[in-house]
Amino acid sequence: MRIALGVEYDGSAFSGWQTQPQGNTVQDALERALCEIAGTPLRVTCAGRTDAGVHATAQVAHADTPVARPENAWVRGVNAHLPDSIAVRWALQVPDEFHARFSARSRSYRYVLVNHAVRPALLAGKVGWFHLPLDVGAMRAGAELLVGEQDFSAFRAAECQAKTPVKTLHEAQVRREGDCIVFDFRASAFLHHMVRNMVGALVYVGKGAHAPEWIAELIASRNRGLAAPTFSPHGLYLSGVEYEARWQLPLNGRIIAPFLPLAP
């Protein structure tokens, strides 16, 4: 049988999602906890891999298990074997045709940036930070130029393994909430470091180093070397994964965190 899981995690202490030999990843911790409940090793597949230091409020994963357990066991039982920084929010038996990655229609990422002269302490590791004033209007204008089917080579990490740099960005929004600037991006798929590289470019626009039209010039150049440096992973959240209604998954949008502007 196949089970789907909704997972949230604080990625600060982990070397990303994907399993590694040293075992310090979200996938490794989740698989160890699932093994405790299933009584046998299970492999999990996620909707979108996240890098070291990146968080998730709405990751989706699936696993095939030879044993039946109550859905509550896949939630409360698994959580009892997970570190405090990872939690399964829901679990559901799904048809074998469901695939956490390939069945996903789109993925959403949110970046939360504190824009203040002094770095935050209580939110360290949970938000990005930039000390100079930023023009949100200019950043919003630049973000609009990112929307659509484009070649995002200028925002692609050198180690990216995607077959093509052409992706369709459905949403790119920027807004201010007090001292925070919130970036929302939604696409069918993203390139490695694509969101952090877009945020870095928009910060350059916001601080006045370039006009909003520079974003279009970067896209046309297809040259990563002309763009801004990759921004910090700390404020980045996988905030939603969209699936067809036929899978009947629980609502898997941006979960509210009381200390961050993470609500839709």
Confidence (pLDDT) at 160: 87
Tokens 């970046």 label which residue?
Answer: 111
Burial class of residue 178 (count of CB atoms within 10 Å of its CB; 0-12, 13-18, 19+): exposed
> Given a cut of 50, is residue 68 above it in pLDDT?
yes
Catalytic residue among 10, 28, 51, 184: 51
Confidence (pLDDT) at 159: 87
Give the pLDDT band (50/70/90) at residue 258: very low
pLDDT, tens only, 74-104? 999 999 999 999 999 999 999 999 999 999 9
> How many C-beta neighbours within 10 Å does residue 70 have?
10
> Given a cut of 60, is residue 257 above it in pLDDT?
no
> Given a cut of 70, is residue 2 above it in pLDDT?
yes
Give the pLDDT band (50/70/90) at residue 20: confident
Average pLDDT, the chain: 92
pLDDT, tens only, 172-184? 999 999 999 999 9
Stretch 194-211: mean pLDDT: 97
> Given a cut of 60, is residue 256 above it in pLDDT?
no
Measure the CA angle with vertex 43, ends 163 and 194; round to 5°.
30
CB 17 within 8 Å of CB 26: yes
What share of the chain in percent tops pLDDT 70?
Answer: 95
What domains can be seen in the chain, in order of their start residue? 2-103 (3.30.70.580), 106-237 (3.30.70.660)
To the query of whether residue 51 is one of the catalytic residues in this protein, the response is yes
Tokens 């299933």 label which residue?
Answer: 38
